[in-house]
Amino acid sequence: MTVHIGAQPGQIAETVLMPGDPYRARWAAETFLEGAELVNEVRGMLGFTGTWRGHRVTIHGSGMGMPSLSIYANELIRDFGAKTLIRIGSCGGMQEKVKIRDVILAMTASTMSTPSSGVFRELNYAPCADYDLLRAAHDAALAKGVGVHAGGIYSSDVFYDERPDLNEQMTRHGILGVEMEAAELYTLAARYGARALAVLTVSDHLITHEALPAEDRERSFGDMVEIALEAAFS
């Protein structure tokens, strides 16, 4: 048990999927895991542990933004022994080739700042995914017939962005999508010797201004969860 995670020793699996929304964690656990049990509800951040094809899996919310994710990822790795952490969440598309419902696998995560920025001082650290997870997730997406893109993303530390000039430069430099957590997850995984990947469903688009209809979200997010699980245990 830690300050933010009320699980007992042994209740957290070595493989953890991390959606931002705790209610999405509950939905994913009830939909994809067998014997899912609630192992954390401190401050309303839900975590569940069960099995998928015989493998133990925890699905635990991270909250919104890198400061929130940093708290949970630190404790999951340092105090509960998590070794593989996969972010499952939504993102905004930033390239015309990226379509609504496509999945983005984040090879790298650029950012203005993270909770870890002070560790590096003047160094521009480049957070990146675990290659084996990335490759396995790409194979799983292709096998499912899901539109998939692997490349750089942007982890923003604000939701209501007022920097259209920055968005233009990221699009110009090939950034596939924007979200708010992956850069810190990748940094912490590197620090502790864990594996990390972000598997992201494109739910809206900064260029076309399309958005995923509410009734289509569960089906599209289900593809993302299955890809993450396949990658974790390939």
Look up the domain containing 211 and give its range: 15-232
Domain count within the chain: 1
To the question of whether residue 43 is assigned a binding role by annotation, the answer is yes
To the question of whether residue 87 is assigned a binding role by annotation, the answer is yes
pLDDT at 213 (0 to 100): 83
Position 3 in a domain: no
d(CA 210, CA 98): 11
pTM of the model as a whole: 0.95
Position 188 in a domain: yes
Position 116 in a domain: yes
Concatenated DSSP letters of 1-61? --SS--PPTT-S-SEEEE-SSHHHHHHHHHHH-EEEEEEE-GGG--EEEEEETTEEEEEE-
To the question of whether residue 223 is assigned a binding role by annotation, the answer is no
Supply 94's token pair. 């930033």
Q: Please count the other Cβ atoms lying within 10 Å of the Cβ belonging to residue 9.
A: 9
pLDDT at 59 (0 to 100): 98
CA quadruple 168, 173, 179, 180: dihedral sign: negative
pLDDT at 32 (0 to 100): 97
Position 6 in a domain: no
To the question of whether residue 203 is assigned a binding role by annotation, the answer is yes
Position 167 in a domain: yes
pLDDT at 205 (0 to 100): 96
Mean pLDDT of the chain: 95
Mark the ranges of the chain whose per-residue pLDDT is less than 50.
Answer: none
To the question of whether residue 180 is assigned a binding role by annotation, the answer is yes
Position 104 in a domain: yes
Catalytic entry in 130, 161, 204, 223 = 204
Position 96 in a domain: yes
Whichever domain contains 160, its CATH number is 3.40.50.1580
Q: Is 204 a catalytic residue?
A: yes
Position 10 in a domain: no
Is the CB of residue 11 less than 8 Å from the CB of residue 34?
A: no
